[in-house]
Amino acid sequence: MTSNLKITTAVALLAASTASPAAAELKYENNSGGYVLIYGQLNPAIISVDDGEQTETNLLDNDLSRSRVGLRLMQPFGANEFGFRFETGLGLPNSTEVDQNGSFYSGWSREDLRHVDFWLEGDWGRFSAGQGSMASDGAAEADLSYVGTALYSFLADSNNSFIFRDPAGVLSGPTVGGITDSFDGSRRARVRYDTPEFSGFTASVAWGQNVLTSGDDRDYYDAALRYANEFGGADFSAAVGYQVRDDDGTKRSDVVGSASVLLQSGLSFTVAGGSRDDDAAGASDPSYYYAKVGYEGDWFSFGKTGVGVHYYDGSDFNLDGSSTTGWGVGAVQKVESINTDVYLTYQEYEYEDSVANYQDLSTWVLGAKWQF
């Protein structure tokens, strides 16, 4: 088994920056109740992937929550409030851009634009337009656990492009990203409406297109219902979403939901699940369920600690009749003085289909997310 540590100068400098003191909030207020806020984060991680024959270790920007910078503007507008948000990824070497054959780092591109979003909000709800979250974005990720910073319902952020090896050691299988999905909603150039909150419930609808990827002329539309409340000191959050991708009448639809509860003791329970129905010829209709148990506490004077274990079970990804299993453990430690979350995770992935029982793949991640 070989090991290869690849560290680029840009990402090494990024890692060093997490040791800098936390910056003061970059917020600028005007005399009419409005403000401009500049924010961002850096999230470098050492990621080691073992495919059963070879180990690849790299220092990369973690796609779980990639490094970014943004600007938010809020301004009262009569009885309403006007908002604008611009946010972009930094285009650093990313954990999705590496596999056993090397790096295919693309640099910054327009697909790194996350938000160019305008909205108007009042007692009647909120209307949004521009590049931003569709209604079902986050519907698979209702998660109140502190360890959710590092472990959540999508398991392939750190090793998305890595390929499974067959029993002979050949890279003939699908990628990790091809056999795991949470069916969570996306960001598009869209129009969206959110209702006012009513007894903890909020509903959303949206229609949009993928203008950041050339050649994608499909229509996307979705709806979601969210709920959040507190019961006897326990926090509860849940979401359900329905989304459709329409390609000239050939539709792919997803139903997804998630729920999470955080008890006063620090114990948390999170579940998620979803299914897909694809009209395209030869397409499979995968589904999955997910569960996590977490615990958090103030064990150290410098910040909160979260630990957890999660499990993922999927079927019919990549090929009908296939089976996907994933599990992992993780810990997250807050360092308040520099506003940084330091995290360590270990995850294993198993996949089999009618072609072969592929070798298991495992991943260690040690990272630090610094926010300003």
Q: Mean of the pLDDT values across residues 162-168?
A: 97
Q: State which residues form the domain around 81.
A: 3-371
Query: What pLDDT is recorded for position 32?
Result: 92
**CATH assignment of the domain containing 299:** 2.40.160.10
Q: 117, 85 in Cβ contact below 8 A?
A: yes
* Model pTM score: 0.91
DSSP per-residue codes, 258-317: EEEEE-TTSEEEEEEEEEEEE-STT----EEEEEEEEEEEEEETTEEEEEEEEEEEEESS
Q: Give the Å distances, CA to CA, from 236 to 190, 239, 252, 358.
A: 29, 11, 31, 39
Count CB neighbours of 243 within 10 A.
26
- Residues 5-24 pLDDT 10s: 444 434 443 444 444 444 56
Q: How many domains does the chain have?
A: 1
Alpha helices in the chain (DSSP H): 9-17
For 92-105, the DSSP string reads --BTTSEETTEE--
Q: Give 273's pLDDT tier (boundaries 50, 70, 90).
A: very high
Mean per-residue pLDDT, 288-305: 97
Distance CA 131, CA 109 (A): 15
* Parallel, antiparallel or unpaired: strands 250-262 and 125-133: unpaired
Q: Looking at residues 255-268, what average pLDDT do you find?
A: 98
